[in-house]
Amino acid sequence: MKPKEVINKWVELFNQGNAVEISELYHSDAINHQVNQDPVEGKKAIEEMFDREFKMAEMVCIPENIFEDGEWAILEWKDPLGLRGCGFFKVINGKIKFQRGYWDKLSFLRIHELPLPRE
């Protein structure tokens, strides 16, 4: 699959809340770095991250734009609650090797009425 096709499948599986199937889109040594959190390394750790997050809140990804440039796909997204963000995916041989995401974690926590960090 080309990068844009992988991201279309990623969105479909994300919206199903399926941690096992979405993790199958990643290389075994992939890195998922949501910049407001520590990077998650390895397919199994990525699956566990998605499993925790899907249990924490109902999340919906509505693509606004998906761009493709060589090995890279860029996803600009929103959700029904007003959160917006974007993700950059490096896709090699039809699987995600690296992902970096930008979104406002404080807004996410507030929208979903989750505990806010103390500091």
Question: Is the Cβ–Cβ distance between 51 and 19 less than 8 Å?
Answer: yes
Give the global pTM. Answer: 0.89
User: 119: pLDDT confidence band, cut at 50, 70 and 90?
Assistant: low
State pLDDT tens for residues 62-107. Answer: 999 999 999 999 999 999 988 899 999 999 999 999 999 987 777 7
Percent of the chain with pLDDT over 90: 77
Residue 114 has pLDDT above 80, yes or no: no
pLDDT at 71: 97
> Whose CA is closest to 103, among 55, 32, 34, 49?
34
Q: Which two tokens stand for residue 93?
A: 């041989």
| pLDDT band (50, 70, 90) for residue 57 | confident
Distance CA 70, CA 92 (A): 10
- Fold classification of 3-111 is Nuclear Transport Factor 2; Chain: A, (3.10.450)
